[in-house]
Amino acid sequence: MCKVKWCVSAFGVVLALAGFTPTTASAAGWMVNGTTLTGTEALATTAAVDEASTLKFAGVTVICEGTTLNAASPKIEATSKGSSSSLEFSHCKADSPCKISSESIATNPVTLEATTEGTLAVVATFKPTTGTVFADLDFSGSECSLEGIWSITGQAKVLAPTGQDEHTLQLANSITTEGSRELRVEGVGASLSGSALLKLASGKPWSLASPKEKEGLGGGWMVGGKNLSGSKALATTARVDEEIVAKAAAATIECNGETLNAVAPELQVPNKGSAESIEFTGCSLVEGGACSIASTQRTAPVVVEATLEGPLAMVATFKPRTGTQFASVTFEGTECAEAGDILPIYGQAKILAPTGQDERTFQLITAIVKESSKELLVGTAAASLRGSVLRGTAHGERWSLL
């Protein structure tokens, strides 16, 4: 089942950029080498994987670790549509005790629609071209509860952080969360993560251009239908929707605790925020050998600044209150050669709230830091950060950024 999720996740990553299409009637449309697209333009049939695609569902994980994502007849279409006859993911495997019938997974034909987000980004929604099924997966295993054929249905979203700016390579990041229930396996929500670099077959720069709907910082925080006039405490505990993973050449850290905790978190006028510390639980060092880390990791004091993104989303940037160091991780273990060594974490991190401009009791917040952005460093190595939480205020008011 997780395998199924994985397939959809990777599928979304590749196709999303392969076929951004704006849903609004305003003038968003494909640009190729500085000229508005009037027909179709072929995409390259192979996309380089930036981050392995991972599908999660009901506690199971499926990952496809191929270095490329392949597509059959992928293209973008004026004014802003896209399609592919099939997307194929390789080197796929499911968590034990389940297996899938093939390491390669091919989808049914797919199409996309995309919208511009803020001044630079694009968000794409992808669906099966006909019907509701993306792909069927065949699970097996004497102790596998998923044994049999399972269908992946629904839709998934992908974010291209610089999709409105012409580039030869466009980075596409899957941002579908389990809590959104947009993507489903047998009616149960699935999450997708992963990214790929897409390009045109011609190698020309390309983008999705449209009028900017909102720019700058916009208005400010709204709480309970009113403009925030001072500060507002956030709940000190946020429920984790998808486990938090920081990955770099130096180390990969996973934190799978059920909650993300904060000391004195608050919103501040007009569009800022802060916390004395953010606490991650259930943390471990992946493939650390004899080395380990403390299960609870805490940051230094942080500050936040939020900006509007398109008609509905919000992006917030987290930085250390002073200096450039977020946190440090100390290696432990009686047989660990690096025991006592301290690994610092520097830089800044961005999160996306897909409905941040719509007042809600709980806002879904998703980390969107990619290794290629070099915004976050673990030691001296660029790091990616993914994961999501549901965040509310201390007293349960509805809140947003407007």
Per-residue pLDDT, averaged over 255-281, amounts to 94
- Using an 8 Å Cβ cutoff, are 246 and 345 in contact? yes
DSSP letter string, 210-223 = ---S--TT-S-EEE
- Domain containing 48 equals 2-209
Return the residue matching tokens 């099966």: 128
309 and 333 housed in the same domain: yes
Both 25 and 174 in a single domain?
Answer: yes
Please say whether the beta carbons of 293 and 283 come within 8 A. yes
Lowest-confidence region among 119-128, 293-302, 345-354, 373-382:
119-128
User: Is there a domain that residue 153 lies in?
Assistant: yes
Q: Is residue 32 part of a domain?
A: yes
Q: Which of 156, 183, 209 is the last residue of a domain?
A: 209
Token output for 400: 């947003």
Q: Where are the beta strands (DSSP E) in 175-309?
A: 183-185, 188-189, 191-198, 206-209, 221-223, 226-227, 231-233, 237-248, 252-255, 259-263, 266-268, 272-275, 277-280, 283-285, 297-298, 302-309
Residue 256 has pLDDT above 80, yes or no: yes
Can you give the pLDDT at residue 289? 80
Pair (196, 237) in one structural domain: no
Half-sphere CA count of 120, side-chain side, radius 13 A: 9
What would you measure as the largest C-alpha separation in the chain, in angstroms?
A: 65
Stretch 260-280: mean pLDDT: 94
Which one-letter DSSP state was computed for residue 166?
Answer: -
On whether both 160 and 200 belong to a single domain, the answer is yes
Instruction: Please say if the pLDDT value at position 10 is more than 60.
Output: no
Q: Which helix (H) or strand (E) holds 15?
A: helix 2-18
pLDDT band at 23 (very low <50, low <70, confident <90, very high): very low
The answer, yes or no, to whether residue 187 has pLDDT greater than 90, is no
Instruction: Say which residues have a Cβ less than 8 Å from residue 277's Cβ, sequence separation at least 6.
Output: 262, 263, 298, 299, 300, 301, 302
Report the distance separating Cα 393 and Cα 230, nearest Å.
14
Domain annotation covers residue 152 = yes
- In this structure, is the dihedral angle defined by the CA atoms of residues 217, 219, 220 and 224, taken in order, positive or negative? negative
Cβ pair 89, 102 in contact under 8 A = no
Helix (H) or strand (E) holding 340: none
Question: For residue 114, which phi and psi values (nearest 5 degrees)?
Answer: -135, 155
Q: Are residues 303 and 394 in the same domain?
A: yes
Helix, strand, or coil here: 18?
A: helix
pLDDT computed for residue 219 by the predictor: 58
Confidence check: pLDDT of 105 > 80: yes
Average pLDDT over residues 317-333: 92
What is the per-residue pLDDT for 26? 40
- Do residues 365 and 319 share a domain? yes
Last residue of a domain, one of 163, 186, 209: 209
Omega of the bond prior to 97 within 30 degrees of 0, cis? yes
Residues 89 and 121 in one domain: yes
pLDDT of residue 20: 36
Q: Check residue 299 and report its DSSP letter.
A: P
Q: How many independent structural domains does the chain possess?
A: 2
Say how far apart CA 274 and CA 262 lie, in whole Å.
10
pLDDT per residue as tens digits for the range 77-102: 988 888 999 988 899 998 888 888 88
Whether the Cβ atoms of residue 194 and residue 52 lie closer than 8 Å to each other:
yes
Residue 1 has pLDDT above 50, yes or no: no
| pLDDT at res. 21 | 33
Alpha-carbon span 331 to 319, nearest angstrom:
24
- Give residue 250's pLDDT band: very low, low, confident or very high (50, 70, 90): low
Confidence bin at 56 (pLDDT 50/70/90): confident
Domain for residue 300, yes or no?
yes
Q: Is the domain of 56 the same as that of 163?
A: yes
Binned at pLDDT 50, 70 and 90, residue 254 comes out as: very high
d(CA 379, CA 60): 31
pLDDT at residue number 122: 84
- What share of the chain has pLDDT > 90, as a percent? 35
Report pLDDT for 210: 53
3-state secondary structure of 361: coil
Quick one: the chain helix, strand, coil %, rounded to 5? 5, 55, 40
Q: Cis peptide before 236, with omega less than 30 degrees from 0? A: no
Q: What is the mean pLDDT of residues 165-189?
A: 85
* Beta carbons within 10 angstroms of residue 67's beta carbon: 10
Is 159 found in the same domain as 263?
A: no
Residue 137's pLDDT is 78
pTM above 0.85, yes or no: no
Residue 397 lies in a domain: yes
**Is residue 243 over pLDDT 70?**
yes
Q: What is the pLDDT of residue 322?
A: 93
Q: What is the mean pLDDT of the chain?
A: 84
Q: Over the stretch 350-385, which tens digit does the pLDDT of each residue have?
A: 999 888 888 888 999 999 999 888 899 888 889 999
Of 209, 242, 258, which one is at a domain's C-terminal end?
Answer: 209
Residue 17 φ then ψ, to 5° = -80, -25
Whether residues 161 and 273 share a domain: the answer is no
Is 297 found in the same domain as 262? yes
Three-class secondary structure of residue 372 per DSSP = helix
Do 115 and 258 reside in the same domain of the chain? no
